[in-house]
Each structure stands twice: as structure tokens, then as C-alpha cells.
Chains A and B, each alone.
Chain A
Amino acid sequence: MISVHGLTKVFPGGVRALDSLDLEIGEGEFFALLGPSGCGKTTLLRTIAGLETPTSGSVVIGGTDVTALPPGRRDVAMVFQDYALFPHMDVTDNIAYPLRIRKVPRARRRARAAEVADRLSLTELLGRRPGQLSGGQQQRVALARAIACHPRAFLFDEPLSNLDARLRLEARTFLKRLQDELGVTTVFVTHDQGEALALAHRIAVMDAGRVAQVGTPAEVFHRPATTFVASFIGSTPMNLLPGRMGDGALHVAGAVLPVPGDPPGGEAGRGAGDGGDGGEIVYGVRPEYTDLSTTRRDDGFAGEVAVLENLGTATLVTLEGPGHLVQAVVPEGREPALGTTAWAVPRPGRALLYRDDVLVGRA
């Protein structure tokens, strides 16, 4: 549906925001562009919208090469981070404006605006100006403006980031349901990994103008392809500990862990299966997949309980060991006492092995 090929964008001044990027987004897909600030995700979205001209490469929407077309001729609708509603027009005019540009007769414009407004519960607000609306209402008007002109694709630039935390969760559910009902291909940009996991069918994690990994939320969460993705995805940062292979075992931060029995896939064999070569690896395990033991365990990372952070139904425990910090999530009521020694034990099958920052296996 939307595909970009070898897309490169170098801004005047030499900043390379996109670096020969390739991406395929399927029909009807809810697709997230996720990454830290400056990774190029917004530039990519703006280039798809036509607001930026790529230095090289092409953008294809619905089989048509639109690289040279102006934004208005690409049949996509963009929702901006600050909504960019027109303050000098009322809600009806704001929603109907794209149709006016397409020379739709006035009566049909108003009917269509009313219909979309009804769907987004905006009927009461049709006569108001954007300045008289709350943030959540403005966001829905911005969505209505995008929906009203029946585009082939929606492009959302951080659609939820201007809402307060409570409203954001409601808007997230609303947005997911809306996209599901409309079935229109939607690309959205976010720096919030939770938002991307919750909303998207597939996620492209971006880093320095390139795609680090594309996959479903489950794939990206459970099998991050690089240590960058691993540290970026997850509400608590993944434990990434340097380690070494040797003597048929993994030696990580004082713990001795079994080398994975069945390396998943060929690439894993290179890293894990041929143990005993003294290879340097990075051992990654999420705090959620790490159990805490108050008795000594050889397969656990020892440390002194340094910080306890209440997460509501659970507690994030930070253990300080010699030269490393390890975090584990324990259920409520099972917190160890501060200052005591505990062992963080990775659950079997949940750890990831990285060599040269690339995923090589699972332990």
C-alpha cells in the first residue's frame, strides 16, 4: 500500500535524517514508526506526506509513485501533533475544509462534516471555534478533518502526545477502535514504545535514519533484533549485561548460566551453539522475566537491594552488584528489604544473547 525505496533525506547543513531507508506498509495496516527524538521518524512521515522532498529514493502509495506529487495530490490525510486546526474557522468549516478545496458542493460538505462529527461525538461542538475546545476535543476535530475526505491513508504525527496522561489512554483505545472500523491504512509516529505496542499491527523501530527492526509488537518485544531495540522497547529497561562463553556455559556478572539447548534459527548457532570459544556476548533479560531469590543461586545475579520502585501491582527492584545493576519485577507484597542481598534469576527461555549488538540467540 505504502512503500518507500532507498529513501534518503539530507537536510541543508548535512544532517542525514533518513539513510537509504526501505519500508513496506500493508493495506489497512496500523503501522507505527517508533524511535527516540532525532531518529528520523517524523521526517519519514513528512516525506510520505509530501511535506519534505527526499534527497533520493521514492515513495509509492497504492501503486502510484508519488515522489514528485505535492501533498494535496497524494490522497493522504495528516493529523499534526498540535492538530493545526484553523483558529479562524468553526468546527464545521475545519472538518469540511479539505472538501472545499476539492470543490465538493457546500451542501454535501456540510452533510459530510455532520456525519463525521456525529461518529466522533462532536455534533454539539460544530459551531465552536478551536480555541473554545479542550485538547481531547481538538484532537477529535483534527481526526474528523482527516476522515472527512476519505483518504487512502492516514498519517498521524504523535497523535496522543499533546493529551494529558489520563486522556491519552482513553484516546488510545478510541483511536485503535476507529482505525479498526475504518480499515484505512494508518502510519503514525511516536516516541512512546507503550503507545506503539498497544496500537500498532506492526512497528518499525528507527535509529539514526535507518530501520533497526520491523515486526509485530510481540516480535519486537520478545525478540528485539539489536541491543538498541532491546533497550528501547519495554516499560522498564531491559537488563543488558556483558558476559562470556566458556566451558560450555555462559558467564554473566558472576552467574553461571546454561548455554541455550536449542538455538532458534541458524544465526543463533554461530553465537550460542558453538560454546567454549570465549566469545564476548551481551546477555539481555527483561526485569519482568527475572525472578528474585533471597537464597543463593548460581544461576542468578547477586546484588544488594539498592532501590525499590512501586509500580502499583508490582515493584521494580534494583540490585547493585559488583560493577553492574540488575533490575527485577516482583509481585506486590514480595519486596525484599533494602540493603539485603538478593539474587536475580532469569526465567529459562526468556533471555536474549547479543553479539556485536545483534541478536544471536535465546537462553
Chain B
Amino acid sequence: MQALIDEFPVIRDAFWLTIRLTLASGFMALVLGTILAAMRVSPLPVLRTIGTAYVNIVRNTPLTLVIVFCGLGLGLVLDVSFSTSLSTNYLWLSIIGLSAYTAAFVCEAIRAGINTVPVGQAEAARAIGLTFMQNLRLIVLPQALRSVVAPLGSILIALIKNTTVAAAIGVGEASLTMKTLFEAHGDAVVPIFFGFAVAFLVLTLPTGLLFTWLSKRLAVIR
């Protein structure tokens, strides 16, 4: 227990990194996932094929592989660089990996949401004179997104937990820090473990409650 108190600043910084990873990846995944969903319902077969292929490949690949690919493949082999600082660079590479992976799930959730919007809505919009993009942006997506707030919450919770995989390429978020602390405080493995578990619950449980509340508040009354 004393170990947890002594190492509090380290643990706090680690979880702050976890939160930043989650927010950055979550935002990018939402944008990319929405674009992918739009591609999957677009009238152009080429876009539909690309969207479907992306979702099927990325969703069915283990996250660890995606993250390692980003770290080694993009970082070392292709030499993609965001910063001269090595740790910042790997942070961004892990954000790319997490966003790319999560976007596939976001895409499927939004696509399910689009399917809940009655066909008549899109037709009425078309009859008024909206183009496909306007229709999607102004009529279909606002309704679709409201209906998938709860599933998006689940995806966000999964993302919070998935950030731990960034440890695989040495990003010093919570799980990597936990491992380091285990090594430093061999006598306090169990308290440290429970401390980290509780800290994750502190992040995930309110997220779940928030999204349940939001989904009720934003629900479309037909």
C-alpha cells in the first residue's frame, strides 16, 4: 500500500498518458470510422469495396499486431516520424494504430445506426434537393449517430482498455508503468495490481454511465 502512495506521481502521469491516448485515438477513430461508414453506404461500388475491405482486414487482425506494425513497420522500416523525441514518436504511432483499429468498430456501429434511419428520410431529403453528401451530413448521420451513442460508449470503454497494448511498443502508459512498478516493488505486487485495476474502473465505469445517460438524452423520438 505504501508503494502505491510513494509512486503516486508516477502512476498519475501514467494514467494521464492513458487518458490522452484514449482521447486522441477516440477522436481520430470517430472521424475515420464515420468516413468509412459513409464509404460503405455510398452509391459508388469502389468506395464500398474499399470500406468493406478495410473493416474486414483491420477488425480481424489482433490489436497487438496492428500496434507492432505501426511501431516497427511505420516507425522503423518506413521511417514515419512525428517528433525528434523517440517517446513522442512512438506515442503518435500507437495513436495511429489504436485509431485505425477502433475506426473499424466505429464504422460498423455507425453503419448499424444508418440502417435504423428509415429509407423515407433519405428519400425526403433527396426529394428536397440534397446531394448524397448533404443528405448524409444533415439528415442521415445526425439521426444515425444519436441512435448509436450507447454502442459507441462500449467502443470507447474497449479503447480505454486497449491503450494498454501500446506498451508493446514501449509507450509508458498505465500497464507498462505497472510492470515497471512490479519490478521495483516485488513485495507489493498485489496492492499495485489492485490499485491499477481500480484506477481503470474509475475511468471506465463513469464512461459507461455517461454514455447510457447521453444515449437516452439524445435519442430520436419518431
Contact = CB atoms under 8 A, between A and B. Distances in A.
A101 B129 CA distance: 7
Interface string A87-114: 1100000000110011000000000000
Contact of A72 (B130, B220, B221, B222): B130
Contacts of A77: 127
B123 A51 contact: yes
A314 B123 CA distance: 45
Interface residues of B, number: 19
A72 B142 contact: no
A19 interface: no
A56 B220 CA distance: 40
B143 A84 contact: no
Contact of B127 (A51, A82, A88): A51
Interface of B: 118, 120-121, 123-130, 134, 139, 142-143, 146, 220-222
Contacts of A82: 118, 120
A73 B221 CA distance: 31
Given A130-B222, A131-B222, A86 B126 contact: no
A88 B146 contact: yes
Contact of A86 (B127, B134, B139, B146): B139
A72 B126 contact: yes
Interface residues of A, number: 26
A80 interface: yes
Contacts of A98: 128-129
A132 interface: yes
B39 to A, nearest CB: 21
A168 interface: no
Contact of B118 (A72, A84, A129): A84
Most buried by B among A88, A98, A130, A131: A88
A49 interface: yes
Contact of A101 (B120, B121, B134, B220): B134
Contacts of B120: 80-82, 84
A70 interface: yes
Contacts of B143: 86-88
Nearest to A73: B129
13 contacts: A50-B127, A71-B127, A71-B129, A72-B130, A73-B129, A84-B120, A84-B121, A87-B143, A88-B143, A98-B128, A101-B130, A130-B221, A130-B222
